[in-house]
Amino acid sequence: MTETRQTMTEFTYVTGETGIIGDRFSPSVVLFWLKTSIAASNMRVMYKSPNTLLGVIPLGSSTQAIPLRNIAAVDTNIKFNPGSFVWGGVFLVAGLAFLSDSAALGILFLLLAAANLANTMSAQLDFVNQAGGRNGVKVSILEKDKLMQLEQKIQRLVFADVEGQRHKESMDMAQKQCTAQANSVLIHRVTRRGQAMASSRGRHRVHPVENLDYTKGIITVRAGGPGLFASRRSHGG
């Protein structure tokens, strides 16, 4: 619990981040006094791990944050570190070679060999994105069980975020469908209203002159409904 509280204070959180979980781990069997911190919230995963030279000399730290929506899966693996194995072998040979001539130098090389060989195997927490890419953070092999417990907690956050995204997408799709249906009904009503107005204008259109009688000087025009006539007597010659 103390480790979790310390982890939560190592990172800066933004407004809206909730459900924060985390823990601290030793980066290797030898460098037990250094700590790798991993934390997660409802929005992102963050981790801070120390950098080392030759596996034993601390050289600052690196910090990384990954948005939770970019994580498709979380898993824990056992990793073989070929670099540590090679350096361990080199330092071992050097230590044995210098031990007879310079005991101090030989012991130093042997200690470096032991440190690197001890880090040949490590536990690694991997964050897998949708494209299959991986971001991993390594810790001591002795803390594998502790790392797996944190993995399960982060996995639950990832699944909750995925369900939330699916629900939001479903609601957005339903909203778009409702909008499309409303627009369709509106277009149908406007179309019917336009047709009704066109039909009404057609019924009240004035008909052309039907009868011209120049011999009697009378022009008869049929307008509107049946039985309505307009007559005018011509005054021409």
- CATH number assigned to the domain comprising residue 47: 2.30.29
**54 or 235: which carries more pLDDT confidence?**
54
Could you tell me if residue 146 is inside a domain?
A: yes
Helices within the chain (DSSP H only) = 2-10, 82-99, 103-118, 144-203
28 lies in the same domain as 105: no
Does residue 237 carry a pLDDT above 50?
no
Is 60 exceeded by the pLDDT of residue 31? Answer: yes
The mean per-residue pLDDT over the stretch 14-24 comes to 82
Burial class (CB in 10 A: 0-12, 13-18, 19+), 199: exposed
Beta bridge partners of 140: 122
> Among the three residues 108, 140, 161, which one is the final residue of a domain in this structure?
161
Residues 45 and 105 in one domain: no
Are residues 70 and 128 located together in one domain of the fold? yes
The rounded distance, in Å, linking the Cα atoms of 25 and 40 is 15
Same domain, 86 and 73: no
Q: How far apart are CA 151 and CA 78, in angstroms?
A: 14
pTM: 0.59
Separation of alpha carbons 153 and 68, rounded Å:
13
Q: Per the domain annotation, does 71 fall within a domain?
A: yes
Which of the two residues, 61 and 236, has the higher pLDDT score?
A: 61
Structure tokens at 218: 């009378």
Q: Are residues 110 and 89 in the same domain?
A: yes
Q: Answer yes or no: do 6 and 96 share one domain.
A: no
What are the backbone dihedrals phi and psi of residue 165, each rounded to the nearest 5 degrees, phi first? -65, -40
Q: Which of 39 and 203 is assigned the larger pLDDT?
A: 39
87 and 21 share one domain:
no
Residues 205, 206, 209, CA angle at the centre, nearest 5°? 145
Mean pLDDT, the chain, as a whole number? 76
pLDDT in tens, 114-136: 888 888 888 999 998 888 888 88
pLDDT for 53 equals: 76
Dihedral of alpha carbons 75, 80, 84, 88, sign: positive
Tens-place pLDDT, residues 54-110: 666 777 788 888 888 888 888 898 988 888 889 889 989 988 888 888 888 888 888
Judge whether 157 lies within some domain: yes
Number of domains the chain is built from = 2
Domain that holds residue 86: 82-118
Residues 128, 20 share a domain: yes
- Spatial contact of 41 and 7, defined as CB atoms under 8 Å apart: no
Ranges 14-23, 156-165, 190-199, most confident? 14-23
Question: Is residue 34 situated within a structural domain?
Answer: yes
Task: Report the pLDDT averaged over residues 124-150.
Answer: 89
On whether both 24 and 55 belong to a single domain, the answer is: yes
Residues 28 and 93 both lie in one domain: no
Is there a domain that residue 217 lies in?
no
* Residue 206 located in a structural domain: no
- Same domain as 63, residue 17: yes
Q: At what angle do helices 82-99 and 103-118 cross, to 10 degrees?
A: 160
Give pLDDT, residue 147. Answer: 92
Mean pLDDT confidence for 193-208:
65
- The stretch 178-197 carries a mean pLDDT of 74
> 70 and 87 share a domain?
no
